[in-house]
Amino acid sequence: MSGAADDRVFAGAVPRLYESHLVPLIFAPYAQDLARRAAALRPVRVLEMAAGTGAVTRALVAALPAATIVATDLNQGMLDEAARIGAARPVEWRQADALALPFDDASFDLVVCQFGVMFFPAKARDFAEARRVLRAGGTLLFNTWDRIEDNEFADVVTDAVGELFPGDPPRFLARTPHGYHDVATVARDVAGAGFTATPRIETVTLRSTADSPRVPAIAYCQGTPLRNEIEARDAARLAEATDVATAAVARRFGSGPVDGRIQAHVVAVAR
């Protein structure tokens, strides 16, 4: 069955659904938060890792009108979607692995990563690579989701889809997006990367809203690698899984517009 090895694969139909459903549902509010924090640092050159379809990139373009922005992602399909949408001014979109960034030492004032560090296979090494490309005095700024229990739509969808496959429940959301929530572990990995400053870690709780229960069901079941897990178990049951998730969200939050809690840790550490 699919598992951790497939958690970094955002391909096929996923990028378009990720942008249309998941970005407004959970990523856009935190993109504004990160962009506000980035603007306070007044960077000249910015590197974004794991840019996805460009939610943070577009927020950074608005918040940092004079900065040069390079947006990278491991998945070319996500960057293609980001480039298709575009930004208000030129951005360099570049495929890159966070473990081997194709940039010179000390070449950026700020490295930003929204909800990507959870996917890094060797987090201290990835943080060390970010540190390498930061100039002295620069900042690494990232966020990571808190426990799945503190992110209500993701929790409900995971439980609902798990009931379809009781012998082998898909656990992508709990395992990876919500699997890197312990702040002591995060601080240890940052220190292990060579950062000597104490990271500033703030837990930020926001609200996730959608017009109907169907939106979070499609967002998670079809717009994330949870889709890979469902289809690996039985490709013919993707629609059924989405229906089951829709019903579960409706039971918990109602059949009209829905509103759930989302929670994440925001981390900033100086080079």
| pLDDT value for 87 | 95
What residues have CB less than 8 Å from 90, skipping those under 6 apart?
Answer: none
| pLDDT value for 6 | 64
Helices 55-63 and 28-41: angle between axes, nearest 10 degrees: 40
Domain boundaries, the chain: 4-270
Helices 152-164 and 226-234: angle between axes, nearest 10 degrees: 10
What residues have CB less than 8 Å from 44, skipping those under 6 apart?
Answer: 66, 67, 68, 109
What are φ and ψ of residue 7, in 5° steps? Answer: -70, -20
DSSP-based three-state secondary structure for 48: strand
Give the C-alpha distances (Å, rounded to integers) separating 111 from 39, 169, 180.
Answer: 13, 36, 19
Token pair of 12 as six digits: 């096929």
| pLDDT value for 83 | 94
Homologous superfamily, domain 4-270: Vaccinia Virus protein VP39 (3.40.50.150)
What DSSP designation does 171 have?
A: -
| pLDDT value for 15 | 82
Whole-prediction pTM value? 0.94
Q: Closest Cα partner for 186 from 174, 198, 172?
A: 198
| pLDDT value for 7 | 60
pLDDT in tens, the chain (271 residues): 444 556 656 757 778 888 999 999 999 999 999 999 999 999 999 999 999 999 999 999 999 999 999 999 999 999 999 999 999 999 999 999 999 999 999 999 999 999 999 999 999 999 999 999 999 999 999 999 999 999 999 999 999 999 999 999 999 999 999 999 999 999 999 999 999 999 999 999 999 999 999 999 999 999 999 999 999 999 999 999 999 999 999 999 999 999 999 999 999 999 9
